Amino acid sequence: MGLSGSSRRGTSLVEALVALLILGFVLTMGAGFFARQRDLSRDRLDREKALRALATEWVYLRTAPKGELIPREKATFVGPGEWVDSLGPRRPALSLRPTPYADLYAVRLEIGFGTRGGRRLVQEGWVFAGAGR
């Protein structure tokens, strides 16, 4: 048989390199996808922790004795000491403003979350002082 009629067996070096290049590209894209999923999952869990911290602070504010609620701006949370200290890296902020109604305060709670820490959750509402007598 001549050159035109011969059948080739196996792959050439160029074909093998192209296949490895494609495989490497696919694996790199897959690794990037899984890393992004891991980051999103971590942010979601951190956001849930921040939401639980806000809920805990709301409970504390709503059950606090009348004398503990005093007007403040961008102060730290007023919950139990060790718990508030554990929130330090999240930079929690509490604002309590009096309203025209007796013993009713406007409340603004802020807390940071996320792996980069640049995102913040903000909740606003009202609290009646002395409800937890």
Q: Which residues of 6-37 are buried (b: 16+ CB within 10 A; e: fewer)?
A: eeeeeeeeeeeeeeeeeeeeeeeeeeeeeeee
Higher-confidence residue: 43 or 108?
A: 108
3-state secondary structure of 95: strand
Strand partners, 76: none
What pTM was estimated for this model as a whole?
0.70
Residue 116 has pLDDT above 80, yes or no: no
3-state secondary structure of 114: coil
pLDDT tens readout for residues 43-101: 888 889 889 989 999 998 888 887 788 898 998 888 888 888 888 888 899 999 999 99
